[in-house]
Amino acid sequence: MNRRAAAAALDVHPRTLDHRLTRVRRLTGFDPASTRGVRILSTLVARRPAGAWQ
């Protein structure tokens, strides 16, 4: 949940990460910076490649 460390790990500027998180929030309606949002979005990301939705 540390944006600065996450940006460094992704090799992007922290403001770029903020912009991307804002886009995710706007597109999905879930806040990726909250615990609930992380759980929901990670579940969606895991289910897609697993073929849960055809």
Mean pLDDT, range 13-39, rounded to an integer = 94
Query: Beta-carbon neighbour count of residue 37 at 10 Å?
Result: 17
In a domain? residue 53: no
In a domain? residue 52: no
Whether the predicted pLDDT of 52 surpasses 70: no
Whether the predicted pLDDT of 15 surpasses 70: yes
Using CA atoms, how far residue 17 sits from 6, 21, 29, 37, 48, in Å, is 8, 6, 17, 16, 23
In a domain? residue 54: no
Q: What is the pLDDT of residue 54?
A: 62
Does residue 27 or residue 54 have the better pLDDT?
27
Q: What is the pTM of this model?
A: 0.73
CA angle 25, 26, 28 (to 5 degrees): 65
Question: Dihedral sign, CA of 19, 21, 24, 28?
Answer: negative
- Residue 24 belongs to what domain range? 3-47
